[in-house]
């Protein structure tokens, strides 16, 4: 297998990591509306080739896109209300009460208000004969493998006051029995199907515009799914569950110097033996749906496909977990057979062992290099001078890491000395931009910079997520005043200077 970035058509390109949720918008969260198109224009003006987004899945408890109630569905909050108004599905007065001036995403407010206005638009769509439109009927038909169950799952979630599906009545807890009762929830199911149709229609229009501007989209696939999800409800046999549908073991990370209790993620673990016995059908379906959305797919926590850390269900910390074997190359050979042109990036950060390195080499996927990890060892594999191949993606930081400005301020001791020695300082340039240029100057065929770092924001101003912290994450929003001539020229110049211009 060989899926190098060179095969992607990349020779020294750059990207910006910018979540949809963080785009400027008048209604409390980023969307696929005007500001998204303006961001595409911004990428083109700065000579940036790639737009990397965080997972577009719906969010639930904790507001994390990595704990979604449906791995292949889209987030209803990203549907642009102004576009719905332009389609005649909403009026100006419908929108006025949903305007929000806060500079952070308020997920509680969105949960309590956004579905009401979407239901109003859906009713107008239905009344105008939208369900009979060819485009709508084609979408329903093409997504028949997951969409009806997703719509029923969400209708039942509403019915039960959003309680976990394991707390539903027996006739709805079992997916096969629940399907027989679908007629009792027809109106609700039609709404959730329309939500996905509108999400997909708006997203595809935005992607088309990006392609016209020469921009490709990098998506993000979380390795695990949430227990309280359509995925587990629909196919419980694909997960390690007990007779009550509770997990027997859950996912996480072992203790280390930064987290003495480890990280307890709580996701159910896959029944890999079952998955392998049926030809990894579940994974092939998931990959197929992902490539309907993205040009390139970054798979999160790649090391979990070589070996995964699992903790007995009910333990309060990740201290007492163990490592178990995963299917490794067998899965990716199946994916390659079914999707020979699939473009995949492996997030190979964290506790990396020889079996993970072998799996990465066997797949040929480009791995990731994180420069914030590069200065704690003398010859770290994250240091640009140690890159063995340009078939990798360099990041100065990520959505899970410090903003570079804060990181530069806090680094100390031997790591600070290595940073000062290894990372060249350009006269008149901040150390933040020194590190960005260091990443962009590396031999990596692709370098991706979080938008917060181009803006030189601190953690207090722009950090997206702090792993293992349950609250306060995923709320950062970009100022609507970001698109200045000064910033455009600054990014364009550093992109051209490092030979990564489009």
Residue 400 annotated among the catalytic residues of the structure: yes
Per-residue pLDDT at 263:
87
Q: Give CA–CA dist 54/398, Å, rounded.
A: 11
pTM of the model: 0.96
The one catalytic residue in 295, 300, 355, 362 is 300
Tell me the average pLDDT across 353-360. 94
Tell me the average pLDDT across 192-203. 98
Closest CA to 207 of 90, 88, 53: 53
The one catalytic residue in 347, 402, 434, 456 is 347
Task: Give the Cβ contact number of residue 170 at 10 Å.
Answer: 8
Query: 118-132: per-residue pLDDT in tens?
Result: 999 999 999 999 999
Query: 10-40: per-residue pLDDT in tens?
Result: 789 999 999 999 999 999 999 999 999 999 9
Closest CA to 227 of 286, 168, 268: 268
Q: Helix, strand, coil shares of the chain as percentages rounded to 5?
A: 45, 15, 45
pLDDT above 70 covers a percentage of the chain that reads 98
In CATH, what number does 13-497 get? 3.20.20.80
Query: 403-450: per-residue pLDDT in tens?
Result: 999 999 999 999 999 999 999 999 999 999 999 999 999 999 999 999
Q: Give CA–CA dist 369/396, Å, rounded.
A: 8
Tell me the average pLDDT across 3-13. 75
Per-residue pLDDT at 241:
98
Q: Give CA–CA dist 106/98, Å, rounded.
A: 12
Q: Which tokens in the block code for residue 254?
A: 């072992």
Residue 278 annotated among the catalytic residues of the structure: no
Confidence of residue 469 (pLDDT cuts 50, 70, 90): confident
Q: Under a CB-based contact definition with an 8 Å cutoff, are residues 326 and 307 in contact?
A: yes
Q: Which residues are CB-contacts of 292 (< 8 A; sequence separation ≥ 6)?
A: 200
The one catalytic residue in 41, 400, 422, 461 is 400
Sheet harboring 50-52: ordered strands across? 344-346, 296-299, 216-221, 50-52, 13-17, 446-450, 392-395, 367-370
Tell me the average pLDDT across 384-402. 96
Rg (CA), the chain: 23
Phi/psi at 13 (nearest 5 deg)? -115, 165
Half-sphere exposure of 160 (CA within 13 A, CB side): 18
Tell me the average pLDDT across 145-159. 97
Closest CA to 227 of 196, 249, 253, 255: 249
Q: Is the predicted pLDDT of residue 338 greater than 80, yes or no? A: yes
Q: Is the predicted pLDDT of residue 350 greater than 90, yes or no? A: no
Confidence of residue 8 (pLDDT cuts 50, 70, 90): confident
């Amino acid at each position: 297998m060989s899926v190098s970035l060179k095969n992607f058509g990349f020779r020294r390109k750059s990207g910006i990591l910018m979540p949809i949720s963080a785009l400027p918008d008048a209604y409390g969260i980023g969307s696929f509306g005007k500001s998204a198109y303006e961001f595409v224009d911004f990428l083109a003006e700065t000579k940036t080739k790639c737009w990397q987004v965080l997972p577009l899945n719906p969010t639930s408890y904790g507001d994390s896109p990595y704990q979604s109630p449906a791995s292949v569905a889209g987030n209803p909050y990203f549907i642009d209300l102004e576009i719905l108004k332009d389609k005649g599905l909403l009026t100006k007065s419908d929108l006025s009460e949903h305007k929000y001036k806060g500079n952070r995403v308020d997920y509680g407010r969105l949960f309590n208000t956004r579905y009401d206005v979407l239901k109003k638009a859906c009713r107008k769509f239905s009344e105008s004969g939208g369900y009979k439109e060819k485009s709508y009927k084609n979408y329903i038909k093409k997504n028949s493998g997951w969409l009806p169950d997703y719509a029923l799952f969400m209708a039942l979630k509403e019915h039960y006051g959003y309680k976990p599906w394991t707390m539903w009545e027996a006739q709805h807890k079992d997916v096969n029995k629940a399907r027989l009762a679908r007629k009792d929830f027809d109106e609700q199911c039609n709404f959730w199907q329309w939500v996905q149709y509108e999400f997909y229609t708006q997203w595809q229009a935005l992607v088309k515009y990006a392609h016209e501007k020469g921009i490709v989209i990098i998506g993000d696939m979380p390795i695990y799914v949430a227990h309280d999800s359509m995925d587990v409800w629909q196919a419980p046999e694909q997960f390690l569950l007990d007779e009550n549908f509770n997990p027997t073991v859950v996912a996480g990370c072992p203790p280390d110097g930064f987290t003495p209790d480890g990280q307890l993620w709580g996701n159910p673990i896959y029944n890999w033996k079952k998955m392998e016995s049926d030809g990894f059908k579940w994974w092939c379906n998931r990959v197929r749906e992902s490539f309907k959305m993205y040009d390139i797919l970054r798979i999160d926590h790649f090391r979990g496909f070589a070996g995964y850390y699992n903790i007995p269900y009910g333990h309060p910390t990740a201290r007492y977990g163990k490592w178990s074997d995963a299917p490794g190359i067998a899965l990716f050979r199946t994916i390659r057979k079914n999707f020979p042109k699939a473009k995949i990036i492996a997030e190979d950060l964290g506790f990396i062992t020889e079996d993970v390195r072998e799996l990465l080499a066997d797949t040929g996927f480009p791995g990731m290099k994180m420069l914030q990890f590069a200065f704690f060892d003398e010859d770290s594999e994250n240091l640009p001078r140690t890159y063995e191949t340009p078939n990798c993606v360099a990041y100065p930081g990520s959505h899970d890491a410090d903003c570079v400005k804060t990181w530069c301020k806090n680094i100390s001791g031997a790591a600070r000395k290595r940073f000062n020695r290894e990372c060249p300082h350009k006269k008149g340039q901040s150390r933040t931009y020194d590190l960005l240029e260091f990443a962009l100057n590396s031999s990596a065929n692709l370098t991706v910079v979080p938008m917060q770092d181009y803006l030189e924001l601190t953690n207090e101003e722009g950090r997206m997520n702090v792993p293992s912290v349950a609250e306060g994450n995923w709320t950062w929003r970009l100022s609507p005043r970001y698109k200045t001539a000064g910033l455009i020229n600054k990014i364009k110049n550093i992109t051209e200077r490092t030979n990564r211009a489009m």
